[in-house]
Amino acid sequence: MSSVPPNSNNNPTAASAGSAAGASTNSSPTFSPLYQQIKALITKSLQSGEWKPGEMIPSEVELANRFKVSQGTVRKAIDELAAENLVMRKQGKGTFVATHHEERAQFRFLRLMPDEGVPHPGVSQFIEVKRMRAPADVARLLDLKSGDAVIFIKRVQHFDGVPTIVEEMWLPGIAFKGLTAERLEEYKGPMYGLFESEFGTRMIRATEKIRAVCAAEGDAALLNIAVHTPLLASERVSFTYGDKPVELRRGLYLTERHHYHNELN
Amino acid sequence: MSSVPPNSNNNPTAASAGSAAGASTNSSPTFSPLYQQIKALITKSLQSGEWKPGEMIPSEVELANRFKVSQGTVRKAIDELAAENLVMRKQGKGTFVATHHEERAQFRFLRLMPDEGVPHPGVSQFIEVKRMRAPADVARLLDLKSGDAVIFIKRVQHFDGVPTIVEEMWLPGIAFKGLTAERLEEYKGPMYGLFESEFGTRMIRATEKIRAVCAAEGDAALLNIAVHTPLLASERVSFTYGDKPVELRRGLYLTERHHYHNELN
DNA sequence: TAGTGGTCTAGACCACCCC
DNA sequence: GGGTGGTCTAGACCACTAA
């Protein structure tokens, strides 16, 4: 295996019906590079739970042997997974499945920063947790049918004793069966950590739309502010593996002692 | 040069006083990898204007020869520069210095998107352009002394005929000497394109802080809205090479038919 | 056809971590 | 000492672009 011409377009598994190897008349669909195929295979293992959040995945050499490719190819696949925050490399130790139970990951999805001092987790006050049928707009964003069961959560978050965020969340009822106010209240740590550990759903990406609005009566009362105080309104959809939407979150942020921080590159 | 042990910690230029090569007792400062040094050298050439925005930089092989390293090392350096949007690779053609004169780059720093339809550039209405002395807060953010000369620009941007953004900008007076209302008005294309082509300052990164506020009288008049309408208030500091701040921009965004879009990864 | 970036390999050595 | 990821090299071939 050392002096043969490399890369006869070997498919590392028997997954796809391989065809058209070295021929020059490859037409449109364009084959994906080996390392992309490896990346897809590793992602599938992550998704299937073969390696759990926080655990170490096999070493590069081991994966190279398993897939019958060079270490360099595995490396490039893992590089991309690390760039997408699906895994985390630790020199000298190994490569680990990313998890929401970590300092670093705490503020990955919450961009609201205190004007002064360092970011720190808030204190949750749950207002309501219930099962309901998904309204049309929620169903559309979560890729469900209108009327499908969803879990609804409403909470207020306090920072330094100041109520700052009021948010409503909708989660698919099937995947989050058994999520109750008690479970939420007794759980210490980030909510996405709970979802990951207890419900096997890991959020890996989100999109957010932000507007400015005026506080309505109910929200003003919860945040202990005057009606018509300007607030940031965020609508966030979070996705798990396979770009599947699994959470809709609508938040109102009080920006008197906080601001939404963003880096533009 | 083929069978010698590689990497005797050769410095590609005579820049730093090389020391401590293979010895095992390297103490704290930790040497940067070769490709990082190459990256720094390429960045310096970009900054000095050796290759201008839009131009092609030398090929990987050529740079490898120039720096006396392998093509793979140059490649890794350029990979990072491409990830930071300093250069753009085009397969089969070459690697090009990134520029703000491009479709792709138009909306890199403006995250305000129309609720319906595709993003498109707005129409500028310049309200005021003048030289002034930097107030303390502006000076601090631009890394100037209080009272240093700055260019002040105020404009309204219209989308589909609707005034949507009112923003104020401050630029260092020295770097932007000769920037007048006429120059701004006659220039077609993105403002950062003008700054890049006419003033040799390329914005490569920015940070943004966003809050919700109520429209004051003056802004309400400019945007043709009621006083106290909620608006997004953005404070953006843009940086050029070497993390040097070169623009402060304070904008108010009307979010009735637009929203601020963000991707969380 | 020649030149560019993109992929893949194989092997060496380094830096870091833990036993 | 032995394992992990990180760097660096050298050389082959592929895919795309332009003359």
Q: B93-152, pLDDT tens digit by residue?
A: 999 999 999 888 888 999 999 999 999 999 999 999 999 999 999 999 999 999 999 999
CA B102 from centroid of its chain's CA atoms: 14
pTM to 2 decimals? 0.89
Residue B254 is encoded by which pair of tokens?
Answer: 């009307």
Q: The domain A104-260 is classified under which CATH number: 3.40.50.10190, 3.30.390.50, 3.40.1410.10, 3.40.50.1820?
A: 3.40.1410.10
Residue nearest to nucleotide C5 (CA to C1'): B91
Q: Which positions on strand C lie below 7 Å from a protein C-beta?
A: 3-18
DSSP codes, B31-69? PPPHHHHHHHHHHHHHHHTSS-TTSEEPPHHHHHHHHTS
Intervals of CATH 3.40.1410.10 along chain B: 104-260
Intervals of CATH 1.10.10.10 along chain B: 12-97
Cβ neighbours of A217 (radius 10 Å): 9
Burial of B247 (0-12, 13-18, 19+ CB in 10 A): buried
Q: Whose C1' is closest to the CA of B78: which nucleotide?
A: C5
Instruction: Flag residues 19-78 of A with CB < 7 Å from strand D.
Output: 22, 24, 26, 30-31, 57, 59-62, 72, 75
Residue B29's pLDDT is: 55
SS3 A184: helix
Q: Whose C1' is closest to the CA of A31: which nucleotide?
A: D15
Residue A238 is encoded by which pair of tokens?
Answer: 């979070």
Q: What is the mean pLDDT of chain B?
A: 89
Note the pLDDT tens digit of each residue in A66-100. 999 999 999 999 999 999 999 999 999 999 999 99
C-alpha distance from A14 to closest chain B C-alpha (Å): 30
On the CB side of A232, CA atoms within 13 Å amount to 30
Nucleic strand D under 7 Å from the C-beta of A91: yes
On the CB side of B54, CA atoms within 13 Å amount to 8
Could you tell me the pLDDT band of residue B31, with boundaries at 50, 70 and 90?
A: confident
Instruction: Note whether B109 contacts A264, CB cutoff 8 Å.
Output: yes
**Residue B166 touches partner A, C-beta closer than 8 Å:** no
Average pLDDT over residues A143-171: 97
Pick the residue with more confidence: A188 or B85?
Answer: B85
Residue A30's pLDDT is: 60
Average pLDDT over residues A209-235: 98
CATH class of A12-97: mainly alpha
Residue B106's pLDDT is: 85
CA of B242 to C1' of D11 (A): 37
Phi first, then psi, for residue B37 (nearest 5°) are -65, -45
Residue A28's pLDDT is: 42
**Residue with tokens 């009288």, as numbered in its chain:** B217
Strand partners, A95: A57, A89
B171 has a pLDDT exceeding 70: yes
Under 8 Å between Cβ of B193 and B211 = no
Pick the residue with more confidence: A22 or A134?
Answer: A134
Q: How far apart are CA A207 and CA B263, in angstroms?
A: 5
